[in-house]
Amino acid sequence: MPYLILLILILALVFGPQWWATWTFRRYSTNRDDIPGSGAELARHLLQKMNIADVGVELTDKGDHYDPQARVVRLSPANHDGRSLTAVAVAAHEVGHAIQHHRSEKLLAMRTRLIRTAQLAQQVGAGLMFAIPVITAITRAPQSGVLMFLVGFGSMGMATLVHLVTLPVEWDASFGKALPLLTHGRYINERDERAVRQILRAAAFTYVAASLASLLNLARWFRFFRR
């Protein structure tokens, strides 16, 4: 029974934030007649209002995000074309990242560098994990396998660290940029502010949910090499 309780707690810790964020987005995803424009229209309007003329808005099927290299806010179909609280809040959140980039804020620049490093390290780590049995068999030295395992395991774990380190960037995009824009510009009414705060909180914690999920992947590799 204690092991079952521990398993449930671990699953809740790893998947809970992800489930909560998804549930929050869906809860407020119903289109409303009192919302005058789509998420894409709001994003373009906010960018124009902030005098950010070199950033575009595009439709994507790879999740809502701001691409600092292409300088474009990319929104999923529901948030690009929808007129829901989720569409409005998520669009404003991604515009928040564009504002960070436009102002050359150091936290966003650091996050961008860290993500590139983590992606490369994760690929290298996965390659080393698969190469361990071959290298160990060729060298007949178990120490080389242990060393490669530690290097690979550590490099793959960087993704978890990066997601957690960059939480302040996401939080600022939600509550330092998006919420003031939405409330001061009266794009949302007072009765919807609480719901919008929940959506913006979910948007900020998306990276935390991803980092916790990546821990599970590391645990799988650890169990595999203990066999």
pLDDT band at 102 (very low <50, low <70, confident <90, very high): very high
Residues 182-192: b if buried by 16+ CB within 10 A, e if exposed: beeeebbeeeb
Residue 179 has pLDDT above 90, yes or no: yes
Nearest partner of 97 among 89, 108, 88, judged by Cα: 108
pLDDT band at 135 (very low <50, low <70, confident <90, very high): low
pLDDT at 205: 83
The helix/strand/coil state of 103 is coil
186-189: long-range contacts, CB 8 A cutoff, minimum separation 24: 187/42, 187/88, 187/92, 188/85, 188/88
The DSSP call for residue 13 is H
Residues serving a catalytic function are 94
Structure tokens belonging to residue 188 = 């949302």
What is the DSSP track for 148-212? HHHHHHHHHHHHHHHHHHTHHHHHIIIIIIIHHHHHHTTSS-HHHHHHHHHHHHHHHTHHHHHHH
pLDDT band at 59 (very low <50, low <70, confident <90, very high): very high
What residues contact 155, with CB distance under 8 A and at least 6 apart?
A: 121, 122, 124, 125, 128
Residue 129 has pLDDT above 70, yes or no: no
Total Cβ atoms within 10 A of residue 157: 20
Residue 119 has pLDDT above 80, yes or no: no
| Helix residue spans in 36-166 (DSSP H) | 39-49, 77-81, 85-102, 106-139, 142-165
